[in-house]
Amino acid sequence: MFSKSAFLVLVLSVLCLPYTRSLVRFVRVLGFFREKNNTIVQDPSHLIFINDTIQCEDIHFEEKSGRLFLACEDSYEGRFEWFPPLANFHDPSLAAKSTGSIHVVDPESKQSQRLKFVNFRGPFNTHGIDVIPDHDSAEAAVYIFAVNHPPDLADCPDAVNLKGCKANAASRVEIFHHVIGSDAATHLRSVQHPLISTPNDILAQSPHSFYVTNDHYYKEGALRFLEMLYWGAKWSTTVFVELDSLTSTNPTADVKARVAASGIHNQNGLGRGRPGEILIGCAGSGVLKVGKASSDPAIQIVSSIKVDSTIDNPSYFLDPYANSTFDASGYILAGLSRAADLPKTTTDPNGTDGSMVWYIPSRQGDAESSTMSPRLLFEDDGERIRFATAAVMIVIDPKLEHGQRWAWLFVTGAFAKSVLAVKINLENVA
């Protein structure tokens, strides 16, 4: 009798027989035969680990304030017992007590500040985030949107001893307000809707509206496993959510939602690209979808970029010192060197998931982004940065580098013990 995994491998093999080229790419993207490598950093001062940044799955650079915002965990072990994005529901008791946190990092000092929550007691099981400025505030301030995966304890018979309870996730989006320079994040409301089922990442359009990806249709089980591996399972969605109120205490009140993008495999991370662009990272298939929002507000996909690994949360680096002879602007994609190992490592605190960060030149005025060639920007075997899920690049003033073009690359990982900052010579990669 076949085991579940053997049966699924057999089914996948039959499905993939007519698609040899696709099968070759499948093997390459998941890294079945790839060796994990390390980018050598010659100068020790060019690689910095940022304090108090445990398992920060997502990172965003808020340009107006000049600060980095991250959603992190407060303990290293908990995510290996509860992480719905990887269908891990082993211990809801840990998730029910989770005190994840939001951090602000100064990209110059590389120091992290943990924000204190106001009007919010959790639980907070962190995932994707987004940050937008509050244009109506007299003080410099931002709205922070964060995915939260607390356990659904409705069917647990014992509210005290939850470890044996079979609980799924009651995923939602939390909205906070933060005054730049303060140490607090004030919780405004939670958001739940039937169309927000397996939320992964967020792209805020205004304080009252945002896009959110559902990375899978199925939350767990054999069909979710099939959905992850079979690229023809285009069941994920990006949903557009509108709120009538930012003060409702009922997570489902005053919430309207509709599907903005469908028919795409494993929609995962969201990001902003060039003006008007919405970036969707298709994690399992290693494809960046470049889209544009229409008025309805469906997302129209205009081009695709393939890389040779899985990817997660995309970002875009806009070179502020670009000129007619040198422009380092481009897309930044973080992913895994050997995603094929995930079934063995997702519950192992001592595992090592190798990381890759890609750079795709995409200058202002270029025609089709699909013609740009991806370049490997940074690589690690999982010891320095485990399970890379997001990366952003912040330029250094050339005057401080004797006219040379350098930048700091900040890399986060869902299983990483800290955020990594590495200094990159742009002239070697752009």
Q: Please, which contacts does 401-410 make with residues 24 or more away whose CB atoms are closer than 8 Å?
A: 405/321, 405/326, 405/328, 405/430, 407/317, 407/328, 408/107, 409/332, 409/357, 409/377, 409/378, 410/50, 410/59, 410/68, 410/105, 410/107
Average pLDDT rounded to a whole number, residues 380-398: 98
Residue 243 clears pLDDT 90, i.e. is over it: yes
Cα–chain-centroid distance for residue 298?
Answer: 21
What is the share, in percent, of the chain residues with pLDDT greater than 70?
91
Q: What pLDDT does 45 receive?
A: 97
173-187, 219-233, 330-344, 352-366 — which is least confidently predicted?
352-366
Q: How far apart are CA 318 and CA 342, in angstroms?
A: 33
Return the bridge partners of 138, or none.
Answer: none
Average pLDDT, the chain: 93
Average pLDDT rounded to a whole number, residues 54-70: 97
Residue 399 clears pLDDT 90, i.e. is over it: yes
Binding residue ranges:
58, 129, 200-201, 268, 312-313
CA distances from 174 to 125, 154, 178 (A): 11, 20, 13
Q: How far apart are CA 33 and CA 329, in angstroms?
A: 32
What is the reported pTM? 0.93
Predicted confidence (pLDDT) per residue in 9-30, tens digit: 667 666 655 666 788 999 999 9
Q: What pLDDT does 297 receive?
A: 86
| 187 tagged catalytic | no
Q: How far apart are CA 70 and CA 407, in angstroms?
A: 19
Closest to 319 measured CA to CA, from 390, 420, 402, 405: 405
| Helix, strand, or coil (residue 75) | coil
Locus of tokens 């060019």: 46
Q: What distance, in Å, lies between the first and last C-alpha atoms of the chain? A: 53
Catalytic residue of the set 46, 60, 90, 127? 127
Predicted confidence (pLDDT) per residue in 334-382, tens digit: 999 999 999 999 999 999 999 999 999 986 555 454 457 899 999 999 9
Q: Quick one: CATH architecture of 4-428?
A: 6 Propeller (2.120)
Q: What pLDDT does 1 receive?
A: 47
The order of strands in the sheet holding 141-148 is: 116-118, 184-191, 172-179, 141-148, 126-133
Q: What pLDDT does 362 receive?
A: 84
Q: What pLDDT does 10 receive?
A: 64
Both structure tokens of 338: 């050997």
Binding residue ranges for Ca(2+):
58, 129, 200-201, 268, 312-313
Name the more confident of 99 and 11. 99
Q: What pLDDT does 370 receive?
A: 47
Q: How far apart are CA 364 and CA 122, in angstroms?
A: 42
CA distances from 7 to 2, 3, 17, 265 (A): 6, 6, 16, 22
Residue 185 clears pLDDT 70, i.e. is over it: yes
Q: How far apart are CA 148 and CA 86, in angstroms?
A: 14
